[in-house]
Structure 1
């Protein structure tokens, strides 16, 4: 039995969720069971990858469903939603039924005080040994980075949004 790894995809550049989605596709292609817990993401409209992944038999998706940054409800609502989704996801992780778990935008959730860093540290420490874990989002805390086997920081050099070009269906969502 191989030791599971912890990957962190962080930074201010595009591609953190996209990189995690690529690993999810790889794991599913190898017949592995995958859990995706989405934080700070809207329930609807669903992105292209969520539409596709939700149809896969070895895939479980949980979404806090609280909106997107800039259009967020009050902090108390966010904290409640993030912590409820985290508790459900942690229970699934500890069940040992999954080979890979992805906690999308959990880094921002910690940074913004929606969930305690200690809860994520405990998740990393208590997960079943062979499980791989990916944490995404900007602002990954140093304390969590130190526990990871791989940390990749995406750097924004240039982005079409800065030129007034909105996100495009099939390319960004």
Structure 2
């Protein structure tokens, strides 16, 4: 089944559920026989969604690009906002590790090629907004990808801190808002539910 009109979707905000929403869409599309390509930025393929999707066969291809550490700008780290993140590499603002940027750039180019091949009905760039925020991918690259999107392809982008220019080009923007989170009550992330 091919889409007669593919749209651009954005899931952003500080609340939980952006990746979950995009994977729900992927599962729904696969249920109708559509082909889905997913690229996860800043992840190592160790989440429950990776395990689940890899068991679904050829309808969904999931790839990921990450390093064994998470990037944090040193001014944010000093404020203490990221104390709960393990394996952190603290960087001066605007200076991501070159090896990490190179990996992300290579993966982004591959995702562009996959989208332009028209083999996929849905293309998901999970955490692309965070990759933009940390300078691994350029906002202009994502804008270009939106502008070049084949008309029958649905393009879905997730992550906090979505740039305004991307939201303006999107057809659907959903902002996840945290009202209450169990982490604040001392409940750690749970396997199968939170990761």
TM over 0.5: yes
Decide whether the 8 Å contact of 1:40 with 1:67 is kept in 2: no
Q: 1:72 to 1:33 in 2, by over 3 A?
A: farther
Decide whether the 8 Å contact of 1:37 with 1:89 is kept in 2: yes
1:5 paired with 2:7, answer yes
1:159 paired with 2:181, answer yes
* Equivalent in the alignment of 1:40: 42
Residue 72 of structure 1: how far off its partner (Å) = 4.4
Residue 37 of structure 1: how far off its partner (Å) = 0.3
2:109 to 87, 94, 98: 87
* Equivalent in the alignment of 2:32: 30
Q: 1:30 to 1:120 in 2, by over 3 A?
A: same
Q: Name which of structure 1's ranges 74-83 and 136-145 shifts more when overlaid on structure 2.
A: 74-83
Any stretches of 5+ residues in structure 1 without a counterpart? none
Any stretches of 5+ residues in structure 2 without a counterpart? 71-84, 90-95
1:101 paired with 2:103, answer no
SS of the equivalent of 1:26 reads helix
Decide whether the 8 Å contact of 2:34 with 2:59 is kept in 1: yes
* Equivalent in the alignment of 1:54: 54
Q: Name which of structure 1's ranges 78-87 and 137-146 shifts more when overlaid on structure 2.
A: 78-87
The structure number with the bigger radius of gyration is: 2
1:116 to 107, 130, 138: 138
